[in-house]
Amino acid sequence: MSADLKILAWVAVLTALMWLPYILTRMLSSGIMRTLTYEADSDPLPVWAARAKKAHYNAVENLVPFACVVLVANLTATANATTALWATIYLWARVVHYLGYTAGIPFVRTLAFAVGWLATLIIFCQIVGW
Q: Mean of the pLDDT values across residues 20-24? A: 95
84 in any annotated domain = yes
Residue 31 phi/psi, 5° resolution? Answer: 100, 150
Q: Give 130: exposed, middle or buried? Use CB within 10 Å, 0-12, 13-18, 19+.
A: exposed
Average pLDDT, the chain: 96
Write out pLDDT tens, residues 86-129: 999 999 999 999 999 999 998 999 999 999 999 999 999 999 99
57 in any annotated domain = yes
123 in any annotated domain = yes
In angstroms, the CA 113 to CA 121 distance is 12
CATH number for the domain harbouring residue 123: 1.20.120.550
Q: Are 54 and 101 in contact (CB under 8 A)?
A: yes
Whether the per-residue pLDDT at 65 is higher than 90: the answer is: yes
Whether the per-residue pLDDT at 50 is higher than 90: the answer is: yes
79 in any annotated domain = yes
Q: What share of residues in the chain are helix, strand, coil (percent, to 5)?
A: 80, 0, 20
**pLDDT at 1 (0 to 100):** 86
- The domain of 92 spans 3-18+46-128
Q: How many domains does the chain have?
A: 1
pLDDT band at 7 (very low <50, low <70, confident <90, very high): very high
